[in-house]
Chains A and B, each alone.
Chain A
Amino acid sequence: AQSVTQPDIHITVSEGASLELRCNYSYGATPYLFWYVQSPGQGLQLLLKYFSGDTLVQGIKGFEAEFKRSQSSFNLRKPSVHWSDAAEYFCAVVAAGFQKLVFGTGTRLLVSP
């Protein structure tokens, strides 16, 4: 069955520093992968998605992610973190005939001054 692993429960980054959040997936075929962000007290918002083609995907808010098939990974990156980026980040893979998303357990990002 399809699954997603986010090995880091929480990460603290200094404001202005670079960020990388890890995501590993388990999927038999070419995966459709997503990153969502959940700000405190809010619903989830799509940051970016990968279907095919260029393995480096650009998203909103200055985020990007790189799909690496050999490592079964889809890590999220940002070159310079802002305090407003503090949130919970979820990686997800599509499953069940493209009818549902399976989410990872999330990584909480804390941004220090």
Chain B
Amino acid sequence: DTAVSQTPKYLVTQMGNDKSIKCEQNLGHDTMYWYKQDSKKFLKIMFSYNNKELIINETVPNRFSPKSPDKAHLNLHINSLELGDSAVYFCASSQDIIAGLNEQYFGPGTRLTVT
């Protein structure tokens, strides 16, 4: 059983398009995250949600809109894709919002390529 799953695994699209990445966790966790990993492997948090409520929005452009229909799902919608959005996007979850105390479980990542 996959704990944190993401779809799709690969996404190739053209500039200006709108795309979504889906994430689901079956761990019963309350908190979910989106991270962006750039070409140099630098990993940075984008958003966190706790029980469907937005907790962290790390100065991400408005073109990125996370949506959490329930606490097991956190989707990422990206409008008007730009070349600089090319990266690997990781979803993660943890028991609760106290990141310092709880292990974060990561999904396998979605490699987004914008041409």
Contact = CB atoms under 8 A, between A and B. Distances in A.
A43 B107 contact: yes
A106 B97 contact: no
Contacts of B108: 41-43
Contacts of A11: none
12 contacts: A41-B109, A42-B109, A43-B108, A44-B92, A44-B104, A88-B41, A99-B48, A99-B56, A101-B45, A103-B42, A105-B40, A105-B42
Interface of A: 32, 41-46, 49, 51, 88, 90, 94, 96, 98-101, 103, 105-106, 108
7 smallest beta-carbon distances between A and B, as pairs? A43-B106, A94-B100, A98-B100, A32-B100, A44-B106, A103-B43, A106-B41
Interface of B: 4, 40-45, 48, 55-56, 58, 90, 92, 97-101, 103-104, 106-109
